[in-house]
Structure 1
Amino acid sequence: MQPATVHLVIPCYQESGRIGPFLTELCEVTKGLGDVSIRVVEDGSDAAEAERMREIITPLCRMHAHLHPPLFLPQNRGKGGAVYAGWDQAPEVDWLAFVDADGSCSATEVANLIHLARKQSKPETALFASRWDQTSPRVQRQWKRRLMGRIFGTLVATLLRIPIHDSQCGLKLVPRTAYQRIAPSLRIQGFAFDVELLAALHDSGCGFEEVSIAWHETPGGHVHLIRDSIRMARDVVAIRRRRGQH
């Protein structure tokens, strides 16, 4: 039986300093899975950064046929915009996925989630990687991020009335047919795009499952805890307001 096809997007903005080791490992781990394609989406970084990304990715493309040439966006759209731009390049696959470029979620965890997705008789339940047990030794995060994660998870679950612990973990697999149904309604392209994606999938009748993973926080991220948390909270309120209008 042919395995379900998966298109995995890695959204990047100024990530040339971190993506190399993770992308190398990811290509090695996934090459034996079959029917998995990978594409890096460079989200409007400057010309020098784009060139550094080419220097990293081009040799790996020669070594791994399932790693597609990177997609370079002319302007910065935000993490969600980069993910969706990559997903829109694969209109025929069974599963659409994304993973953060920093390697906090290992290539092995990516492969594990793909295996879990392929156990479904047909793609109908989205899989969201989760750091829900933040006291577990498998989840290594700064205490500030643990605290903000708990607060934001409670906010999302309470305001949107969706039972989820961790909407922001940087690894998700979504049935392609479910995404195509909701794509016209998706507006948020920044860090809170995960929340809007979750709400839209939930409201469309697509189920989701949180899958506990190991997480090792990698330094050098671009998220500003206070500023971006405020923006994301505003986005959650806006999502709630729009849902109430339907």
Structure 2
Amino acid sequence: MIEVPRIHLVVPCHTESGRIISFLPDLCREVTALGNVYVMVVEDGSGPEEAAKMQALIQRLRPQFPCLLPLKVLPQNVGKGGAVYAGWEDHQGAEWLGFVDADGSCSPAEVGRLITLAQQQNFKHPSELTAIFASRIKMLGRKVERLLKRHLLGRVYATLVSEMLRIPVYDSQCGLKLVPRVAYEKIADRLTIMRFAFDVELMVALLDSGCGIREVPIDWHETPGGKVHLVRDSWRMARDVAHIRARRAVWRQGKG
């Protein structure tokens, strides 16, 4: 019997104990059925009280779900990207590294569907490496339930990314991504952005290294309680994209 590739799936959390409690058990059930998928919750410096709540939740679920790894607690808040990368450091030899948001906007069923796509890939040559990014696009019968103002902001930001970085991407920010570990290890030392635009930097670095990216439309629904501030964080994201473009130019000069 051929063993499916091992997936190391990180769930980054900052004050998420109230939302993840309704998502994590179903996620663990879903990936348990797939086999060889391991879930690590990373508590991103939310403070002792929040860490204690998360620890209690993980300890309660682990006997039921062997796929659930011990909680990783970061002493300080390092941002979503920092939490993802900290979790990926503990991959235990997994062929795929992934992350999914804790709010459940990407349902366990959709997480399982993309993981299945990853497990079915068989890379025979480095040039065939392809990451899998979930995309919030209404096509192929997929449903996307999102506040209009957030949808419009997302489209503006996606256009900004495409134009400034010359990358034809529809949705760089959806909170479900799977990356071949060997592809990530080639670019890890290039990654410097740890907060909102980390997805964009990860995408750019993967593409520049020769790893392809497959955008997969998913069903997605907006979950109340998000922490993104539309005006403040839009400015930060635009600034980070400009920073990524500048660093990309330097890196390309060095390669040349």
- The residue number in structure 2 matching 1:239 is 244
Q: Assess if the C-alpha contact under 8 Å between 1:7 and 1:93 holds in 2.
A: yes
1:121-200 equivalence runs, <5 A: 121-122=122-123, 124-133=129-138, 138-200=143-205
Pairing of 1:5-154 with structure 2 (within 5 A): 5-122=6-123, 124-133=129-138, 138-154=143-159
Say whether 1:210 aligns with 2:215: yes
Q: Is the 8 A contact 1:6 1:96 kept in 2?
A: yes
Other structure's SS at 1:18 match: helix
2:240 pairs with 1:225 = no
Counterpart of 1:85, as a letter, is A
Q: Deviations over 1:83-121 (max 9, x none)?
A: 000001115111000000000000000000011112211
Q: How far apart are the structure 2 equivalents of 1:154 and 1:132?
A: 14
Aligned-partner SS, 1:62: coil
AA partner of residue 78 (structure 1): G
Secondary structure, in 3 states, of the residue corresponding to 1:126?
A: strand
Q: Classify the secondary structure of the residue corresponding to 1:187.
A: coil
Assess if the C-alpha contact under 8 Å between 2:45 and 2:74 holds in 1: yes
SS in 2 for 1:195: helix
- Aligned in 2, Cα 1:118/1:137: closer, same or farther, shift over 3 Å? closer
Residue 221 of structure 1: how far off its partner (Å): 1.0
SS in structure 1 at match of 2:132: strand
Determine the C-alpha separation between the residues in 2 that align with 1:2 and 1:55. 32
Deviations 1:15-42 (A, max 9, x none): 0110011001001111111110000000
| Stretch of structure 1 that moved more, 55-64 or 116-125 | 116-125
Matched residues, percent identical?
57
For the residue of structure 1 that corresponds to 2:97, the secondary structure is strand
Gaps of 5+ in 1: none
Contact 1:91 1:176 in 2 (8 A): no
Secondary structure of the equivalent of 2:68?
coil
Q: 2: CA distance between counterparts of 1:102 and 1:230?
A: 24
**Is the partner of 1:63 in helix, strand or coil?**
coil
Unaligned runs of 5+ in 2: none
Q: Secondary structure at the match of 1:243?
A: helix
Q: Deviations over 1:104-163 (max 9, x none)?
A: 0000000000111122112810000000339x8710000010000000000111111111
After TM superposition, the score normalised by the length of structure 1 is 0.97
CA RMSD of aligned residues (A): 1.2
Partner SS for 2:202: helix
1:200 partner SS: helix
> Could you tell me whether the CA contact under 8 Å between 2:142 and 2:217 is conserved in 1?
no
Range with greater deviation from structure 2 (112-121 or 196-205): 112-121
Name the SS for the 1:32 alignment partner.
helix
Secondary structure of the structure 2 residue equivalent to 1:152: helix
